[in-house]
Structure 1
């Protein structure tokens, strides 16, 4: 500890965001450039050296948080980068995108604001690149074994990097035209600019990982062909089967899935097309779904120049502080959180009929109505009881003007089309998730599964942990032993009450 009283003398200070009026006019990162480094040292010094760091257990990667907090406080960026990368392949991703359950598990958070672990993490990651500490780490020798990884999201990329570094020849297949999965086309540019992704992919190419974008396994190349060509196959295809909203009027045009809307916006940012064919510019937008994907749609619609944007959340308005009985420390609590997108929509007054942050809580969609041309023009909703979201409250029906409706209701499992999973391939359970054993192996010999395809929709930090763990399982399968870390087991889950 640089300062054993740091947590007593220093208040929590987060990376400041740029003014709303400035940042909604571009797609750059929402934070003030260069404003994190001056404050991150004293913030790292707030770490208590608590003896039993629950932040370790709250993070599925087992990040060595107190160690790199201390190193940052001492201005030892090289050692901090080494300790951070010892457990996390892509800290610049998690430092920007993870909701930080580690901070919920921080011992200081029992009665004070937690250490800004996420900010410290992203500062180390960025300094590692700027100071040249994140160079490629190719293997000393090749094993002669070949591994195919299907899917290039965080789970697939983590598995590929671990297996490449241990000496196997790894080829990553991706059905989209660019590598990155949802990191590429699902995450808006203002949350993580794609140069962060491209830089890491460049490192992986230099290490020897090969990428095959624009190839749909199951159609362009069969799973059987992969099994014959490679010594092992890792399925990391994500959970891309989105949930539907079965209400009257769903067939109207102008009602689209979030993962149709967000990729189109990202492609426009990449210069593929401008503007997006689904652009919210000048339209009255309603987002159905209160999660992070819905917030991503909100921030995107605001930047595209929507006439209004309202986000519907079927859950009741959360409390501002943890319920110590229902969700005691160190559980990651369901509390009211204000994302950058909600801050923007609130300050700009994008949804006059909603709460201050453009969200309507306890709101359930009843039906859609449209015009004579079959285009959506209104969404009819009703307020539901907080304790029973299936029971509407009498007299609470509202009608929202809607030219564009975005469904952000989450995902159920991997895409079953194309013959990649299911009979006669790897078995799936009743939820549609790939079945696997304690070694991440599917019901087909030599085929393994990792990430949301087998776990179900989860966080990026869990996806990376899955990728690291499946890499260890594949290495053991190929060589009989492994020195690769396996931070989680297939049946591990976040702590809940």
Structure 2
């Protein structure tokens, strides 16, 4: 694929982000315009490796036909590249922006050289498709007469809805928020994923016949919610794609103080403010911000705090700093556990002159100021021996902070929709449904995405939504043509 000797001739050149000093002044996307010549050169680096691990289980969860569309971009055949991309991925404009690119971690070229810039190429193909008008609504040619309800409009729910609708079923998606998109809308900030891009895709799904109902909780029928049992009775099948929304807390002294918030509450409030719904209820403006926990959500809290003009910024990470290169117990093609500088870290360094992260540190308790609100946190350094954490004697410190954001992952889904149905749960409190079949213990009820597998990636949610749609189609029709 690509140019036969391209990987020998051309170095990796990832598309740059906008200048960090400039981009922290707004919530516009951080990406620079696509440069076709650079993308074609990068596509040429795809090395005809024989076994494309980029689309294996260690690589792309949706099995994107990566070598094929790399080659097509190299040839300048963008329309054909888009067709290949849409064969496996309903929403490449999302994954091209927010996916951490496990495909690049398993790229064969990455064994000895920097991998192909797969994520950049994917995003460019999708954006080219929209700009050229190639991406259009495609309603199904006929309807089956079957009706499916989907609870949750995140990437799993949307992918399932798209596939089920394409099979001719009538699909209704229920969302408790005021806008469609779930995590895509209210969990990922605008500078990584502009909400017009989400709404553009939702608009296409509407044109294709998917019905969306917002501001509607599905629970036990109380407090204005729809009873999930009644929903199951009204539809031929029901898919739960509610995500994992129970945040991991930090139960230490002073947790009840004002000024301490879960990361997702902060991000949702900020996104709504950017969209013009209201002024920020949780603002970092002029405040000393502490983000506890890393990952993409922690980075998004950093980037948002900078754009709100925080006074100072620190990010605690419990684990030690990762190595620059793969460790011996982290071989290719597994995901490389290496030190990375994400967009928020780069922005913080540009603003304050240093990376905001402090490693191997644990919060022991919060303390209040004269006004009774949180004023800081007491910590202790930690070390890990044989997988166990130990406190470092004499390492206690105090850190000033009047806005503390907890970004420590999620414990599982809420059960308001599932309890009335009698859904069984696994040991992690996720909805119990076998991977591949997605059927719960309740007849005609399926589950997909984070609510089934636990906290994961957008691209995994898309895969599970697609596969759950296939199994629902099989359940309804006795056979299926969905992939």
| Partner in structure 1 of residue 245 of structure 2 | 240
Q: Structure 1, residues 121-162: CA drift from partner, whole Å, max 9, x if none? A: 000000111112211111000000000000000000000000
Cα deviation, residue 347, structure 1? 1.7
| Partner in structure 1 of residue 451 of structure 2 | 453
Q: Distance in 2 between matches of 1:303 and 1:38?
A: 32
| Partner in structure 2 of residue 297 of structure 1 | 301
Cα deviation, residue 389, structure 1? 5.6
Q: Distance in 1 between matches of 2:427 and 2:46?
A: 44
| Partner in structure 2 of residue 421 of structure 1 | 418
| Partner in structure 2 of residue 492 of structure 1 | none
Cα deviation, residue 217, structure 1? 0.3
Cα deviation, residue 239, structure 1? 0.2
Q: Structure 1, residues 35-89: CA drift from partner, whole Å, max 9, x if none? A: 4433111001100011100001011101000000000000001110000000000
Q: Does 1:255 align with 2:260?
A: yes
Q: Distance in 2 between matches of 1:26 and 1:380?
A: 33
Q: Distance in 2 between matches of 1:237 and 1:185?
A: 14
| Partner in structure 1 of residue 84 of structure 2 | 83
| Partner in structure 1 of residue 395 of structure 2 | 396
- Correspondence for 1:285 among 282, 286, 289: 289
Q: Does 1:54 align with 2:53?
A: yes
| Partner in structure 1 of residue 31 of structure 2 | 31
| Partner in structure 2 of residue 329 of structure 1 | 332
Q: Distance in 1 between matches of 2:335 and 2:35?
A: 25
| Partner in structure 1 of residue 14 of structure 2 | 14
Note closer, same or farther for the CA distance 1:295–1:465 as it changes in structure 2 (3 Å cut).
same
| Partner in structure 1 of residue 431 of structure 2 | 434
Contact 1:414 1:432 in 2 (8 A): yes
What's the secondary structure of 2:439's corresponding residue? Answer: coil
- Correspondence for 2:341 among 335, 338, 349: 338
Contact 2:2 2:47 in 1 (8 A): no
| Partner in structure 2 of residue 359 of structure 1 | 357
Query: What is the TM-score with the length of structure 2 in the denominator?
Result: 0.97
Structure 2, gaps ≥5 residues long: none
Cα deviation, residue 440, structure 1? 0.7
Cα deviation, residue 427, structure 1? 1.1
What's the secondary structure of 1:170's corresponding residue? Answer: strand
Contact 1:45 1:73 in 2 (8 A): yes
Structure 1, gaps ≥5 residues long: 351-355, 486-497
Q: Structure 1, residues 293-347: CA drift from partner, whole Å, max 9, x if none? A: 1010000000000001111100100011111x21100000211111111000012
| Partner in structure 1 of residue 146 of structure 2 | 145
Note closer, same or farther for the CA distance 1:389–1:344 as it changes in structure 2 (3 Å cut).
farther
Cα deviation, residue 383, structure 1? 1.0
| Partner in structure 2 of residue 210 of structure 1 | 211
What's the secondary structure of 1:390's corresponding residue? Answer: strand
Q: Distance in 2 between matches of 1:209 and 1:331?
A: 37
Q: Distance in 2 between matches of 1:337 and 1:133?
A: 35
| Partner in structure 2 of residue 374 of structure 1 | 372
Contact 2:2 2:70 in 1 (8 A): no
CA RMSD in angstroms, aligned pairs only? 1.1
The size of the alignment, in residue pairs, is: 475
| Partner in structure 2 of residue 45 of structure 1 | 44
Note closer, same or farther for the CA distance 1:249–1:8 as it changes in structure 2 (3 Å cut).
same
Contact 1:422 1:428 in 2 (8 A): no
Note closer, same or farther for the CA distance 1:359–1:393 as it changes in structure 2 (3 Å cut).
same
Q: Distance in 2 between matches of 1:424 and 1:270?
A: 35
Q: Distance in 1 between matches of 2:399 and 2:369?
A: 14
Q: Distance in 2 between matches of 1:262 and 1:38?
A: 36
Q: Distance in 2 between matches of 1:424 and 1:479?
A: 23
| Partner in structure 1 of residue 195 of structure 2 | 194
| Partner in structure 1 of residue 236 of structure 2 | 231
| Partner in structure 2 of residue 491 of structure 1 | none
| Partner in structure 2 of residue 107 of structure 1 | 108
